Amino acid sequence: MLVVLVLVQAVTFLLLVTLFGLTGANAPTIVVNHDQGPFSQAFVSSLANDHHSFSLTFMGNETVARELVSRGDYVAAIVIPQGFSQSIQQGRTVPITVYVDNINTDMTSDIQRAVPSAILSFGERLDVEGLNVGVSETDLYAHDTSFIDYMIASALVLNTLIIAGTLSAFSVAEEFESRTARVLAVSPVHPLVPLMGRVLATTLVSVGALAVAVFLSLVGYGIYPVYPLEMVLTLLLCVLIFGCIGAALGAVMKRTLPVAMFILGIALPLFLFSGSYEPERFDGNLIWGAAHLSPEYYAVGLMEHAVFGLKVTPEPLAVLAFALVGFGTGALALAGFYSRRGFH
Amino acid sequence: MRRGAIVAVAMHDLARWRRMPITAAAAVVPPIVMMLILSTLSLAVTQQPVALVVQGSGPASARMAQIIENDTDAYYLTVTNATAANAMLLDQEVAAVITIPPAFDAGVANGTGKVLITINNVDFDFSDDLRRSIDRSVVQFDAPSLISEGPVNASTPNVYHVTLQEEYLRQTSVDWFHYQLVPILVLLTLNVGLVGTAILCALDGLSGTARMLILSPQRSWVLVSGRILGGVFVCLLVLVPAVLLSVITGFISPPPDQIPALIGIFLGTALCAAGTGAVIGTLVRSTRYVALLSSVVATYLFFLGGGFTAIEFVPKWLQLLSAFTPTRYSIDALRQALFYPNPAGIPLSLLILALYASACVGVGAFFMRRSWLRR
Amino acid sequence: MSENVNDEPVQFKTVSCKVSGKDILKGITLSVKRGEIMGILGRNGAGKTTLLSLVSGLRTHASGEVTVLGERMPPRRTEFRRRMGFVLQEDALYQELTVAENLSFSASLYGVTNPQERIRTVLEVLGLFDRRDQVVATLSGGLKRRTAIARAFLHDPELFIVDEPTLGVDADARHAVWAYLRLLRSKQRTVIIATNYLDEALALCDRVAVLEGGRLLAVEEPSELVKRAGICIDIECDEETANRIASSVTSMKQVARVELTLSGISLFLVKGADPEEVVPGFGRYGNIQGFRLRAPDLLEVFKSFGDTT
């Protein structure tokens, strides 16, 4: 039951991440096309193909469309007036009405950029006179990675933290709660030895639970890792390391209830902080520097490379792996320290 | 007597919280961390770090560079040379390099001018943001009237033959951070009220005090009400400083005439959170799983309430589910009261929250004896 | 069975109870007199706690009739619980709170008037006043038990239900708890205790109801129980000697039964038998290292009822 609940929470975070990914693109937008002529069709085509900007829904009634936007059901409504194509044909300029749900400046800004971008594309498609400037783009990678897919790969790291961290923390904290840790403390072996045993045992269980999450992610989203072996090794390493971190938390907090709350509560903020949706250095050197305190930063770097062949951190892969191992070692040392200290 | 017993249970729970600092911290720390992280990320969420290399020397190049430099909403710009810009791109200090090439002016003169952009297209979220931004800058070069901060004269012709009449349906615009701050306050309430109340109920089961409560001469609804009231008190103990701090630091500026509504919404949210926690805590017999289950429920309430994403973007079936989620009404009502002058809908939200909380008292009382007697 | 509920505040009439589909109590008929300490004696799993749960209302009986303080169980009104005090098998205290805080909460639930004064009085009687500000988690087992008893006494109920009053406590605490329960009897309070300690039943109870396998074997004074089981003679010897002794006493009318043990043999004498008439002459059967006389323990008391399973 514990494993099921942890898995449910992990899958929930996958769902959350997917929903977050949806907001990055394809703003739900209504198009009311009163014209239906060739140029309005071309304009609609520009909207539809503009850098994943819009998810278009077509309606006939402008009043209804406006109402739906004001209700918050859609982000914007674009109204192409009657006579649009004829006016363009005759070289006249036509106003297009755009209703925007300016619920926050981020969404508003997206629309403010997307519509002109579509207009640029429309103008280039028509090869209108007077266009003097265009854009020439070069990309570092041959193709874009879907935002959702990118986030799913990093979310697998989040899942590993939740599954391995929670199960491990739980098993260690239970030893203290049930006071069996006292028996371990007076045994002739260092408390770290049975703690490691706990971590290894929960690692095995975590691998099983994580396999379910990985299966759902890869099969559900149709993701095929570029380096599957690297992905598997990264996940296994993460399970072990996050298990150690969970053990440390369990030894420090010594209570199952708060430790579970803490891990579940801290996992998502740390995830956002760890290059989960774009290379963390894009957020500035200060934030990027602070992100190095999070083990998820290193794990996400390894995962994105393994799944998509992307380099999302300036540090080489070997450094990321060593840093993760360092976290795990430190966590074990902390667990050992607190497991002894708890009885004095 | 019953009123006294309800308050006694609530004050008793407050005393317990005071003695459980680790559990209290585990409830409070995550939303605070989330708030801190969101506040730092808000600095970066709209702008992308970009390097600008201006190789052209004519007036067109200068004008294009000016357009790009003025778009401070889109770019966090570093103007540098090509070598340094390339190094920054590879080092991930910038997401893209925009280059105005040496032949830009000549190209503009014969209608073939090109702005070059090299993007670290790790994913298309920020890559597309950059593409839209540079497109917008280019459009502004050839059709300045299309991109205007002020009112647009729809009849002004431009080379694209299209102008925009934009109508913003809300009177105020809220920046991303403030927009997200509201659900964080709700998340704080959920963690403390829902998860915390569920844990107190679980601890009653664990320690056997649940039986003593059932054996007392108080009815189940009195005990449940007291537990929920205790949860509300604890929520307020955490919320009030958080809200005051937000007001003092200027993160939120509640309109004076909306303060009663805001108090009502916070109280209603706290009631719903604590009520849900009380139901979970009485229904779930195993204390091991209460924290996990209540955390899962809090997560769903948070994101179905629109705390994590704008509801417009989620699939329709999820939007329908969201309509049945009490936190949706909390978050919407809070945003309405704080940011948008039109208070319509707030009374309905308050009613829904109150009804939900009442239902929690009923469900909790119904199941309390049945569940705790079997422990 | 008396119809006067004032004289007999607790009455069971052919009560049976099932838990998880299993018969735990079968056909129990029992009444508890006002002002007495009634012991419910039985081994683990006999049904003692279940019986107390029926009195407290935590469980519902499957058949028969249970009347407590004039109220047919399960009770319709929760108010009548004000007349009862409970000490459960587990202490059921708020570990993170102090002794005084635990009592204060109970006082508010039970509507105690002048709660601070009453708490002080109760704490002083139980020797806990100096510990009032100590967190319960830091108390010893005995002090926790006393705190639980203090909580039950706070609202001065007519009927006390105490499950295993001295389980896991030290000798001092045991003595204190016993003294307190006797005090309750002197104040004409009715006390029902469940215990599997024969010496506790002997020390405290006016009468004892013996439960085994969910059935009531007997209701009698504890001293009668011991007499029924008879004096026990433990003889330390080797196995061969023990077997010879066992063969030789089969015809002795003073010996009720014989039990071979790891250290030799135990002889249980009938009521009134004189050990001096039994022991002499055993030396001829082999090497006897020693022997002693003692009262029977709880298991031996049960065995004196015959095979009841």
pLDDT in tens, C264-274: 998 888 877 88
Contact C153/B at CB under 8 A: no
Quick check: is C1 in a domain?
no
Higher per-residue pLDDT: A272 or A326: A326
Quick check: is C166 in a domain?
yes
- Averaged pLDDT score across all residues of chain A: 87
Buried b (16+ CB within 10 A) or exposed e, A300-322: bbbbbbbbbebbbbeeebeebbe
**Lookup: tokens for C59:** 């469980």
Q: What is the mean pLDDT of residues B58-75?
A: 92
- What backbone phi and psi angles, to 5 degrees, belong to C88? -80, 170
Q: For chain A, list the domains and their CATH numbers.
A: 27-126 (3.40.1710.10), 143-341 (no CATH)
**Does residue C35 have a pLDDT over 80?**
yes
The ipTM (two decimal places) reads: 0.87
Q: Give tens-digit pLDDT for A88-131.
A: 888 888 889 999 988 777 778 888 899 999 999 998 888 877 77
Helix (H) or strand (E) holding B27: helix B21-45
**Does residue B192 have a pLDDT over 60?**
yes
CA distances to A5, A85, B190, B250 from B187, rounded to whole Å, are 20, 50, 5, 20
pLDDT band at C309; cut points 50, 70, 90: very low
B138 and B264 inside one domain? no
Quick check: is C2 in a domain?
no
Where does a domain end: C220, C242, C272? C220
Residues B58 and B109: beta-carbon distance below 8 Å? no
Residues B242 and B188: beta-carbon distance below 8 Å? yes
* Strand pairing report for C232-237 and A133-139: unpaired
Q: Which residues contact A197 (CB under 8 A, 6 or more apart)?
A: none
Q: What is the mean pLDDT of residues A217-227?
A: 90
Residues C129 and C165: beta-carbon distance below 8 Å? no
**Does residue C307 have a pLDDT over 70?**
no
Quick check: is C5 in a domain?
no
- What backbone phi and psi angles, to 5 degrees, belong to C215? -110, 150
Give the Cα separation of C277 and C261 in Å (integer). 22
Domain limits for position C294: 230-303
Give the Cα separation of B120 and A275 in Å (integer). 14
C163 and C272 inside one domain? no
pLDDT band at C81; cut points 50, 70, 90: confident
**Does residue A42 have a pLDDT over 70?**
yes
3-state secondary structure of C295: coil
Structural domains counted in chain C: 2
Q: What is the DSSP string of A253-310?
A: H--HHHHHHHHHHHHHHHHHTTTSSS-GGGG-HHHHHHHTTSHHHHHHHHHHHHHH--
The alpha-helical segments, DSSP class H, found in A79-185 are 84-89, 105-126, 147-160, 166-177, 180-185
B248 and B353 inside one domain? yes
Q: Which of B135, B165, B195 to mutate to test the interface with A (most CBs of A within 10 A)?
A: B135
Measured between CA atoms, the residue of chain B closest to residue C58 is B373
Quick check: is B163 in a domain?
no
> What is the predicted pLDDT for the residue at B149?
57
Cβ contact C79–B217 (<8 Å):
yes
Residues A231 and A306: beta-carbon distance below 8 Å? yes
Q: Give tens-digit pLDDT for B209-237.
A: 988 898 899 988 899 889 999 999 999 99
> What is the predicted pLDDT for the residue at A344?
42
**Residue B185: Cβ-neighbour burial (10 angstroms; 0-12, 13-18, 19+):** buried
Specify which residues C290 forms β-bridges with. C236
Quick check: is C295 in a domain?
yes
Cβ contact A258–B195 (<8 Å):
no
3-state secondary structure of A190: coil
Quick check: is B343 in a domain?
yes
**Does residue B43 have a pLDDT over 80?**
no
Q: What is the DSSP string of C177-191?
A: HHHHHHHHHHTT-EE
Q: Give tens-digit pLDDT for C237-255.
A: 999 999 998 988 888 888 8
B332 and B362 inside one domain? yes
> What is the predicted pLDDT for the residue at A339?
72
C116 and C169 inside one domain? yes
**Does residue A193 have a pLDDT over 60?**
yes
Cβ contact B218–C78 (<8 Å):
yes
Which chains share 3+ C-beta pairs under 8 angstroms with A? B
Residues B49 and B76: beta-carbon distance below 8 Å? yes
Structural domains counted in chain B: 2
Measured between CA atoms, the residue of chain B closest to residue A98 is B166
> What is the predicted pLDDT for the residue at A1?
79
**Does residue C308 have a pLDDT over 50?**
no
Domain limits for position B114: 46-146
- Averaged pLDDT score across all residues of chain B: 85
Q: Give tens-digit pLDDT for B114-132.
A: 999 999 998 888 899 899 9
Q: Give tens-digit pLDDT for B226-274.
A: 999 999 999 999 889 888 988 898 878 888 888 888 999 999 999 999 9
From the list A16, A27, A278, the residue facing B308 with the nearest CB is: A16
- Averaged pLDDT score across all residues of chain C: 87
Cβ contact C96–B19 (<8 Å):
yes
> What is the predicted pLDDT for the residue at A342?
56
Q: Which residues contact A270 (CB under 8 A, 6 or more apart)?
A: A161, A294, A296, B33
Give the Cα separation of B227 and B209 in Å (integer). 13
CA of C1 vs chain B CAs: smallest distance (Å): 27
Q: What is the mean pLDDT of residues A246-266?
A: 85
Which among B238, B275, B239 is positioned nearest to B354, based on CA atoms? B275
Angle ∠(B236,B240,B244) on CA atoms, nearest 5? 170
The alpha-helical segments, DSSP class H, found in chain C are 48-56, 99-109, 115-125, 141-153, 171-186, 198-204, 222-229, 239-248, 298-303
Q: Give tens-digit pLDDT for A76-89.
A: 999 999 999 998 88
Which among C294, C298, C269, C272 is positioned nearest to C202, based on CA atoms? C298
C76 and C204 inside one domain? yes
C192 and C287 inside one domain? no
> What is the predicted pLDDT for the residue at B45?
61
Cβ contact C94–B207 (<8 Å):
yes
C191 and C243 inside one domain? no
Long-range contacts from A33-37, C-beta under 8 angstroms, 24+ separation: A33/A58, A33/A80, A34/A62, A34/A79, A34/A80, A34/A81, A34/A82, A34/A84, A35/A80, A35/A81, A35/A82, A35/A83, A35/A84, A35/A85, A37/A84, A37/A85, A37/A86
Helix (H) or strand (E) holding C72: strand C71-72
pTM of the model as a whole? 0.81
Measured between CA atoms, the residue of chain B closest to residue A311 is B122
> What is the predicted pLDDT for the residue at C256?
83
> What is the predicted pLDDT for the residue at C296?
79
CATH classification of the domain holding C289? 3.30.70.920
Contact A265/B at CB under 8 A: yes
Give the Cα separation of C85 and C151 in Å (integer). 8
Locate tokens 């839209």: which residue? B132
Measured between CA atoms, the residue of chain B closest to residue C59 is B373
Contact C91/B at CB under 8 A: yes
Q: What is the mean pLDDT of residues B139-162?
A: 74
Peptide bond into A295 cis (omega under 30): no
Specify which residues B76 forms β-bridges with. B49
Buried b (16+ CB within 10 A) or exposed e, C39-75: bbbbeeebbbbbbbbbbbbbbebeebebbbbebebee
Locate tokens 């995962």: which residue? A303
**Does residue C2 have a pLDDT over 60?**
no
Scan residues 115-144 of B and list those with Cβ closer than 8 Å to A. 115-129, 131-136, 138-142
CATH classification of the domain holding C142? 3.40.50.300
Q: Which of B71-75, B275-279, C241-245, C275-279 shows the lowest mean pLDDT across its residues? A: C275-279
Give the Cα separation of A307 and B267 in Å (integer). 46
Taking one residue from A and the other from B, the number of pairs with CB-CB distance under 8 angstroms is: 380
3-state secondary structure of A211: helix
Contact C102/B at CB under 8 A: no
Buried b (16+ CB within 10 A) or exposed e, C12-24: bbebebbeeeeeb
**Does residue A190 have a pLDDT over 80?**
no
